[in-house]
Structures are given as structure tokens and as C-alpha cells.
Chain A
């Protein structure tokens, strides 16, 4: 089993749609979780951290289910500018910041 596994995608959605991505992780001792966004041929950038109680930032909602070892990202009212690859990141060892990346889920929002 891969350490961090994501929906393979690609997801092609119309503007205004709601889309959800899931990510599972193998190490039950993992302590912190993130979603990064990566535009084509660019570096990854932090989108949001994922907190145990779930958290929301505008149109984006992240949730964590420790029992099932999965993380989700929900995007509401999709915009053309949301088109990117979304990377699930799990910090397996906070003391060394041992961050493991999923392969990414590609999203294309169409007019």
C-alpha cells in the first residue's frame, strides 16, 4: 500500500460545480496533514492545513478522519482559476518534518 494515495483523476467539472477529493494514508501515527496546490510546471504551494475538527477557508473545506485514515478536500462553486493539481501531504514525523506527498489529483474547471 502506498503511504499516501489519492483519487487518480482527472476531474473535469463545469464552473460552479462542487468537487471532492479523497486521500488515504498508511501510517496511523501521522500527526499533521495538508493540501497543496500545484499549477502546471510550477512549484507546490500550501492551500490549507487539515485540522482534526475539520476546517474551512472560503470555498474550500478540508476534513480528517483518523479512524479511517483519510483526508478530504471539498471545493464549492468551482472557478476556472481552481484548475490545478491538488496534492495531499502527510507529515509522518513532525520532528523531522517527514512529509510524504500523494501523486496528486488533477482538476480542470471548464466554462
Chain B
């Protein structure tokens, strides 16, 4: 069972470079999310999607973009990397809305911007 798969696992970017963090899930979940986790901090929601073709901003969307062309894939784009974007990025998915809906996380991408 693959679940939620993120690539790459690690990346070092120079300031001003761009990159796409890939996320795919094979559980046919409607909801997908991108979070970032800074050291000693909780997860902060960047963007989320409630289904293919629909995306919305979370708490900290500035500097990021997303798309959701298929149910399976939810890539996160960084256009002009900044040191403040150094973090661990987690993609997650959940089956749908409602109470007590579990989120399943990918293994994370550790990004360093230098």
C-alpha cells in the first residue's frame, strides 16, 4: 500500500530558484493538503483541495502555488525560493468532509534554501 507519496525527500535550493514538490495518493481521497513544519512548531496549512480542479489557500499560502488536475496528484510549486521557506513539507490526504476524518501523511520533503 503506497498511501501518500512525496518526492523528493530532500532538496537544497538557492535563493530565487524554483521547484515543484510532488505529491500523489492512491487511496482515491478527495481532500488533499500541503503543510509546512518548522522546528519546534506545529504544522501550518499552506493550501488544500477538496477535489480535482478545486484549490484554496490555507494559513500560510504566500510564496506557493498549487494545482489539482487529477484526484491523485497535488503538486506544490515554489516560484522564488527564500530562506524563510526552509522547512519540512508534508502532503496529506483524507477521504472527505465530516467529523473524525483521519488525515494520512506522506513522509515529508526536507527543503533548505541557501
Contact = CB atoms under 8 A, between A and B. Distances in A.
Interface string A83-100: 000010001001111111
Interface string B3-20: 000000000000000000
Nearest to B96: A97
Contact of A95 (B40, B97, B102, B106): B97
B2 interface: no
Contacts of B105: 43-45
Interface in B67-106: 90, 94, 96-103, 105-106
Contacts of B97: 94-97
A109 B37 CA distance: 24
A71 interface: no
B45 interface: yes
Contact of B99 (A31, A42, A100, A101): A31
- Interface size, B (range): 20 to 34
A26 to B, nearest CB: 14
- Interface size, A (range): 20 to 34
B65 interface: no
A43 to B, nearest CB: 4
A99 B90 CA distance: 14
A50 to B, nearest CB: 9
Nearest to B41: A103
B42 interface: yes
A29 B89 CA distance: 28
B60 interface: no
B96 to A, nearest CB: 8
Contacts of B40: 103
Given A96-B50, A97-B48, A46 B41 contact: no
Contacts of A43: 90, 105-108
B17 to A, nearest CB: 24
Interface of B: 31, 33, 35, 40-45, 48, 50, 56, 90, 94, 96-103, 105-108
